[in-house]
Amino acid sequence: MKQQSPTTFADIRAARRADEHPSIGTHHSSLITHHSSLSDDYKQRAREQWSANPCGASAARDREFGTREYFDAIERHRYEIDCPWIKRTIGFDRYKGKRLLEVGFGTGTDLLQFARGGAQVTGVDLTPRSIEIARRRFEVYGLTGEFAIGDGESLSFPDSSFDVVYSFGVLHHTPDTERAVREIHRVLKPGGKGIVMLYHRASLYYWGSLFFKHGILRGEFFKESMAEIMSRRVEYSETDGRPLVKAYTRDEARQMFSDFRDCKLQVNQLTRHELRPVGRFIPEALFQWLARNFGWNLLITATK
């Protein structure tokens, strides 16, 4: 039986408006309850997905869990194979002495780099398994950090607590991404920097692979909505976790970060494998241009 399509994002927005403006009328009360239950369901799916499939851990499946070799394998795959542009673009060593929060740190790969660069790091994650893995990882490398279970939509920190808030590939999985961005703004100090990666809807992966290849050529649109196709296909899963997955345009991202006084957008993340069979024949300069304009990752760097 076909699952209900998550066209409920419109319902969620309507419910939020009703909740913020009770004068809209009591007929929205059932909608608010529906919003709450949907939100809880999406977050539970996220916990199940990344408890069973810790982010990046598949690259170390042949190594003993918790060893230095295990974590080294995850790190090599991330920065040498999967996303070789990240270290150069993020600049993990630029925040020495700064108080930095990562929202949704997974196995702690990026958070470890910030700590190596001298930042005072704190990480919050929805998944208890991530806390366990990150603590072990920092212990293995002799580094210190603070870790806690937390929800990006409701951060348990006072206003103006951090110099930097970082969240890479996380907030497009939470039901109320706009609220999570407002929380980042709230906990940043004036002049602080937010660094967030969201999936990019105007990308070759979205339109070429998800929409055209799977939706049209393979006929998945006959059974599922685009949101359901994304939920099933975007994230690696051994358990059919189907977390919530959203993607944004540049204009939508700018609107979400409109409370910040400065907002810069960069696009990247494309592999030649994704462009098969012609990918290996594309000149490097053209390939890099495609990645910077139609890549799957939309990186927002915003100043409070």
φ and ψ of 147, to 5 deg: -135, 140
37-72 CB burial, b ≥16 within 10 A, e <16: ebbeebbebbbbbbbebbbbbebbeebeeeeeebbe
% of the chain surpassing 90 pLDDT? 76
Indicate the CATH number of 53-203+247-303 among 3.40.50.880, 3.40.640.10, 1.10.630.10, 3.40.50.150.
3.40.50.150
Q: What pLDDT sits at residue 117? A: 98
Q: What pLDDT sits at residue 3? A: 36
* pLDDT tens column, 186-219: 999 999 999 999 999 999 999 999 999 999 999 9
Q: What pLDDT sits at residue 165? A: 98
Residue 109 has pLDDT above 60, yes or no: yes
The residue among 304 and 19 whose pLDDT is bigger is: 304
Q: What pLDDT sits at residue 51? A: 80
The residue among 13 and 170 whose pLDDT is bigger is: 170
Identify the weakest region by mean pLDDT among 35-39, 79-83, 134-138, 167-171: 35-39
State the alpha helices, DSSP H only, in the chain: 8-20, 29-52, 68-76, 86-90, 109-116, 128-141, 177-187, 204, 226-233, 250-256, 284-294
Average pLDDT over residues 8-14: 38
Cα separation, 167 vs 55, whole angstroms: 13
Instruction: Give the domain ranges of the chain.
Output: 53-203+247-303
Residue 241 has pLDDT above 60, yes or no: yes
Cα separation, 201 vs 215, whole angstroms: 15
Cα separation, 199 vs 173, whole angstroms: 10
- DSSP characters for 228-240? HHHHHHSS--SS-
Q: Is 23 exposed, middle or buried (0-12, 13-18, 19+ CB in 10 A)?
A: exposed
Average pLDDT over residues 153-178: 97
Check if the beta carbon of residue 168 is closer than 8 Å to that of residue 113: no
Q: What pLDDT sits at residue 50? A: 64
Cα separation, 20 vs 13, whole angstroms: 11
